[in-house]
Structure 1
Amino acid sequence: MRRWPWPTNFARLAGAIRAFALTRRAAPALQLVLVGTGSVSDAIVEFARQQHLEGDGNIRFLSDIASDLPALYDEAAAFISLSWRESFGLPALEAAVRGTPVVVSGWGAAREVLGDAAMFVDPRDVEAAAAALLRGIGVPAHRRALSPAVSARFSWKQTAAAMLDVCNRVTVRTRSMAARRAVSEQAP
């Protein structure tokens, strides 16, 4: 499983950290767990310190834990990603499949991929993200109830069937185009 390195330009991560800092006012027992690969940028650690999240285990940085992700999603009160450009959003999907309440950017493909299984926010609006996090941790049963539907939609069997359908449509279209080309070449 490929995991992306800690961002050097961490605008998206900064928004999630800010939203978490706001959320902690209403839910002080929460802990923010940030997952990436390699070592954490000093800028990210300093930014977390500026948000008064240092000490007392308020924030943890974990690296290279792909095999532990299912357990991490299961234990999470919520998942947040405020990406400005996300082509698919596999971590958010993984969290939703595990029944973790998901808060993600309404930009990109997340809305199409996750549908009702996530709460969508403008990634620039940290107050809205904090409010969505509080909603997610307040009613996790609703989100966990959506997990089977998300799992079924993205099961290996369903994904393989969808891919086979696309391949069949492309093959039929290619044959049809080839047949038309052959007919037009034979015409006087």
Structure 2
Amino acid sequence: MTDFDDLVGRVVTRARTDSGELPPPVGAEELAAAEAALGLTLPPLLARLYREVGNGGFGPDYRLFPLAGEGRTAVGLYHLELAGCADSTRPHWPAGVLPVLDWGCGMYAAVDCTDDAGPVLLFEPNPVDSDDNWKDAWFLDSGSLAEWLEKWLSGTGWFEEDSYERGDPEEPQPWPPAAERLAAARPTGARG
């Protein structure tokens, strides 16, 4: 297992600088209840962020959603997105991908919880012109949550306001397993 102590410490420092007072972190029981509600185990670094930094309220731009609790949460949004796929032969949201941040305009940052590294994905539905093309809405933002956080901490992510003025920011690339993961999300017996 990778040691994330330094990274988590830097996230705490930046979060307190940016956000001031943060929501309290989730407890072990709250984390276990959220994972049970999701039917997923969070990648280790994501679990540590919610346990040691705060229940959302930190991170790039609009900041991470609370994991669970009142209002708009990662758990609630995950269930909402999957419910929107329940009867669809062309689901738009793959199982195991947890929305963690709202970029606005229907776009989300999401963590692939099927991989312990927690690849960070970008869901960008705006250019999708039909239900047949949902795979085109999914991009790999960073190969791991740690990499994504490092980009935020260093101010080098594509999402930074002045990143384009400084040169060529690394833009998210299409997520190769999108079509396969979305096909696996189809309801049993659905054809498409």
**So what's the TM-score if we normalise by structure 2?**
0.29
Structure with greater Cα Rg = 1
Task: Tell me the TM-score normalised to structure 1 length.
Answer: 0.30
Q: Could you say which structure has the higher helix fraction?
A: 1
